Amino acid sequence: MKHFGTGGIRGDAKIFTKNFCRQLSVAISRLNYKKVMVGIDTRGSGVKISKWLIKGLIKHGMDALLVGVISTPALVYLTQKHKCLGVMITASHNVHSDNGVKVVCRGHKISERQQNIIEKALNDVVTTNTSKGKLIVAKHLLNEYYCYASKQVIKTKYKVAIDLSNGATCATAPALFRGTTDNLVIVANKPNGENINDNCGSTHIENLCNVVTTNACDVGFAFDGDGDRCIAVSGSGKVVDGDMLAYIIANYLYNKGALTDKKVAFSIMSNLGVVKALSKRGIEVIQVPVGDIYIYEAIKKHKLKVGGEESGHIIIPPITYTGDGVITALYVLKIMYETNCKLDELIQDILVYPQKLTNIKVADKEKVLADAELQRIVYEIKQKLSDEGKIIIRKSGTEDVVRVFVQAKSQALVDKYSKLLVEKVKQIQI
């Protein structure tokens, strides 16, 4: 598609001009819903974009409920509860100068058919609906999400650190986590429109590692700008990524006899150490393409109880049907409390395989992926690694970037093959 990527429309905030937002509002109105909730994260451009979109949505017959600053999963939950559309203005984990629009419907990402309707309408001539909608300021709806998430809160004596990435979780996470402990350390919770994801949050986990060790915390949790990711840090300062968090949840459910068919869903980039640790327990890993939408589809198809990605998108039905960083963290805290185990103890059986992900800016993603010589090199490396490693080269769904992912049993092999493949990708562009 021209506009839609894997996570909606995303890019430099400058692409969201007044005219484009007007056309996008027309396109969204073609989905034939009377009511749409509109939320934003904390980047400065969101206010202007939301104003333009809301004006267009109202003009084309929709009632626009302005929810204000809210996490993506919170907005998703509210659209499910109120059976309506949702528009989330966010660029997720991207830098503050980017922005984007995610469209959700009744608790889920919109379908491919609905994406096609929006995509087609973006290229049509603007028409005005004869009946206008109205603007409803609905910031009180955030309390409904708070009540929903509060069901996962359990009081502990842990010292907990949370990194809010100066993003959307600033609206709910502090109050929720104060319910879990009297010893709470909060960082990156002063958004100013330009500091979202700025050397903080789940994509800059080194910040939280330092906070946890310096303050002698039992555990720490970092979220991204729109709150759909969670990465943890153990008391010893060890990073516990989304794969490991999903592993912890799967083991917990397995021990309770609640893991459907002893299966979980992971992305193809999952760590082999985690997959093998689950296999030893008799738990099968269903691997799917990168993207939380594919995790959700596998969960729906196989009626699974947990699925996740290394990046921190974790889905735990029936509690969540989308990645919710705050609820994931609250759930893991509950597991630590009920099992009386430290986070390090819950992952002690995992022998993590070294890995490296390199993002390479390219002019033509398709040209890179179609290169015969690159494909030959990848095939040969895979043959050498067999089931003791992974090579994945894929295009970004939202940027002009090719991602080179290498995983192997030793760091030396990771470095060797990563260097070879990155150099080859760069050569293709010359």
In terms of domains, do 169 and 299 share one?
yes
Residue 248 lies inside a defined structural domain of this protein: yes
In terms of domains, do 54 and 120 share one?
yes
In terms of domains, do 183 and 303 share one?
yes
Q: What is the CATH number of the domain that holds 234?
A: 3.40.120.10
Residue 127 has pLDDT above 70, yes or no: no
Residue 196 lies inside a defined structural domain of this protein: yes
**What digits encode the pLDDT tens for the residues 323-336?**
999 999 999 999 99
Residue 252 lies inside a defined structural domain of this protein: yes
Confidence of residue 145 (pLDDT cuts 50, 70, 90): very high
Work out whether strand 159-163 and strand 98-105 pair parallel, antiparallel, or are unpaired. Answer: unpaired
Cross-strand bridge partners of residue 57: none
Concatenating the DSSP letter of every residue in 153-196 gives ------EEEEE-TTSGGGGTHHHHHHTT-SEEEEES----SS-T
Confidence of residue 1 (pLDDT cuts 50, 70, 90): very low
Backbone angles phi, psi at 393, to 5 degrees: -120, 120
Residue 3 lies inside a defined structural domain of this protein: no
**What digits encode the pLDDT tens for the residues 37-51?**
999 999 999 999 999
Q: In angstroms, rounded to a whole number, what is the distance separating the alpha carbons of residues 358 and 319?
A: 34
Estimate the crossing angle of helix 411-428 against helix 372-385, to 10 degrees: 170
Q: How far is CA 35 from the centre of its chain?
A: 25
Q: What is the CATH number of the domain that holds 382?
A: 3.30.310.50
Cross-strand bridge partners of residue 408: 389
Contacts 24+ apart (CB under 8 A), 401-404: 401/359, 401/360, 401/361, 401/362, 401/365, 402/359, 402/360, 402/362, 402/365, 402/368, 402/369, 403/357, 403/358, 403/359, 403/360, 404/357, 404/358, 404/360
Cross-strand bridge partners of residue 66: 38, 137
Number of domains in the chain: 3
Work out whether strand 239-240 and strand 263-267 pair parallel, antiparallel, or are unpaired. Answer: unpaired
In terms of domains, do 165 and 206 share one?
yes
In terms of domains, do 222 and 89 share one?
no
Percent of the chain's residues with pLDDT above 70: 97
Asked which of 143, 163, 183 is the last residue of a domain, the reply is: 143
pTM: 0.92
CA torsion through residues 371, 372, 375, 376, sign:
negative
Q: Which helix (H) or strand (E) holds 98?
A: strand 98-105
Q: How far is CA 358 from the centre of its chain?
A: 19
Asked which of 346, 376, 397 is the last residue of a domain, the reply is: 346
In terms of domains, do 96 and 216 share one?
no
Q: What residue numbers bound the domain in which 196 lies? A: 153-346
Residue 401 lies inside a defined structural domain of this protein: yes
| Average pLDDT along the chain | 94
How many residues in the chain? Answer: 430
* CB 359, CB 396: distance < 8 Å: yes
In terms of domains, do 226 and 314 share one?
yes
Beta carbons within 10 angstroms of residue 335's beta carbon = 19
**What digits encode the pLDDT tens for the residues 202-253?**
999 999 999 999 999 999 999 999 999 999 999 999 999 999 999 999 999 9
Estimate the crossing angle of helix 325-339 against helix 242-255, to 10 degrees: 50
In terms of domains, do 293 and 389 share one?
no
Tokens of 168: 């959307």
Residue 148 lies inside a defined structural domain of this protein: no
In terms of domains, do 177 and 309 share one?
yes
**What digits encode the pLDDT tens for the residues 283-321?**
999 999 988 889 999 999 999 999 999 999 999 999 999
Q: Would you name the residues annotated as active-site residues?
A: 92
Residue 325 lies inside a defined structural domain of this protein: yes
Confidence of residue 153 (pLDDT cuts 50, 70, 90): very high
Q: Which residue has the tokens 């800059």?
A: 204
Tokens of 190: 């002063």
Lowest mean pLDDT among 3-7, 45-49, 155-159: 3-7
